[in-house]
Amino acid sequence: MKRKELIIGLYEQLIQDIGDEIHHDHIWERVRSGIYKDIYDQCSQQVSRESIRQVIGMYRKKQ
């Protein structure tokens, strides 16, 4: 899976599970210690936080 797809997939899953849109600057702070920790670790090893913010920011603008 491409890194961008991994990030967007995680973002969509978070929105679905939490039930509201999360401001992308706060996603990782909420995720890091929660049930998505494994996915966070996988994402953060592959992608810089700045890249994650950029990808999610572009994704949100398209919505």
Query: Which tokens is 32 given?
Result: 């890091």
Give pLDDT, residue 20. 55
The range of the structural domain enclosing residue 15 comes to: 3-62
Q: Tokens 């909420």 appear where?
A: 30
DSSP 26: G
Q: How far apart are CA 31 and CA 39, in angstroms?
A: 9
Which has the higher per-residue pLDDT, 21 or 50?
50
* Residue 24 near residue 60, CB atoms below 8 Å: yes
Q: How far apart are CA 45 and CA 19, in angstroms?
A: 27
Per the structure, how many domains does the chain have?
1
Q: How far apart are CA 63 and CA 50, in angstroms?
A: 20
Residue 50: which pLDDT band, with cuts at 50, 70 and 90? Answer: confident
